[in-house]
């Protein structure tokens, strides 16, 4: 039995969860509304202020789906109550970030600036204090979308192991390498 799948998802006050006949779970809360289509083999029930998930057999596919959908619904419940926030730091000389609405303008040491259109479900802010690296802050109720956008931004200039330049998450510890050793 999946340990994660067996654990019911508690429903906090102010959150409503509905399941329609097509196995679409809708979670409404103070911050917004999220929907997720659940696999037809997994049964979802709302009992005693909690959501429970059952699987029909012990096949590998069913075991995998059992824990997956429980985690997805749990993330949706947390998203509509608290929301998710990620901060990314631009490390490098001349690296800059600016935002106008949902357009993110990044200067990452290339010959041109990179302009990204951030989805409307995300809220993006940039901060640049003197003597500190620029910071991009992304906030959303959808954890999957937030992670995908952060991965896209990070892929534009991944942190390199020698000088540590690139886009990294705030608080992330990078594995550093020693460079070439000088002549003997």
**65 in the same domain as 92:** no
- Residues of the chain whose pLDDT is less than 50? 1
CATH number at residue 7: 3.90.930.12
CA distances from 128 to 84, 90, 97, 99, 160 (A): 22, 10, 8, 12, 22
**90 in the same domain as 19:** no
Residue 70 lies in a domain: yes
Alpha-carbon distance 157 to 153, whole Å?
8
167, 159 Cβ separation under 8 angstroms: yes
**88 in the same domain as 57:** no
Q: Give the per-residue pLDDT at 21.
A: 87
SS3 category, 92: coil
67, 8 Cβ separation under 8 angstroms: no
Residue span of the structural domain in which 138 resides: 84-169
Question: The tokens of 111 are what?
Answer: 């010959």
Q: Give the per-residue pLDDT at 5.
A: 84
Q: Give the per-residue pLDDT at 183.
A: 60
pLDDT in tens, 43-97: 999 998 999 999 999 999 998 899 999 999 999 999 999 999 999 999 999 999 9
Number of domains in the chain: 2
Question: The tokens of 178 are what?
Answer: 């020693």
């Amino acid at each position: 039995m999946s340990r994660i799948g067996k654990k019911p998802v508690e429903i906090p006050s102010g959150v409503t969860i509905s399941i329609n006949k097509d196995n679409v779970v809708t979670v409404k809360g103070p911050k917004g509304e999220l929907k997720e289509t659940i696999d037809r083999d997994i049964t979802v029930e709302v009992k005693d202020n909690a959501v429970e998930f059952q699987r029909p057999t012990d096949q590998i596919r069913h075991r995998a789906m059992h824990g997956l959908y429980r985690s997805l619904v749990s993330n949706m419940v947390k998203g509509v109550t608290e929301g998710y926030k990620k901060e990314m730091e631009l490390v490098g000389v001349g690296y800059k970030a600016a935002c106008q609405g949902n357009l993110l303008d990044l200067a990452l040491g290339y010959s041109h600036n990179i302009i990204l259109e951030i989805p409307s479900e995300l809220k993006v802010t940039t901060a640049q204090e003197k003597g500190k690296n620029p910071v991009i802050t992304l906030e959303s109720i959808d954890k999957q979308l937030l992670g995908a956008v952060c991965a896209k931004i990070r892929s534009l200039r991944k942190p390199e192991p020698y000088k540590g330049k690139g886009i990294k998450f705030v608080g992330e510890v990078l594995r550093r390498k020693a460079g070439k050793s000088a002549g003997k």
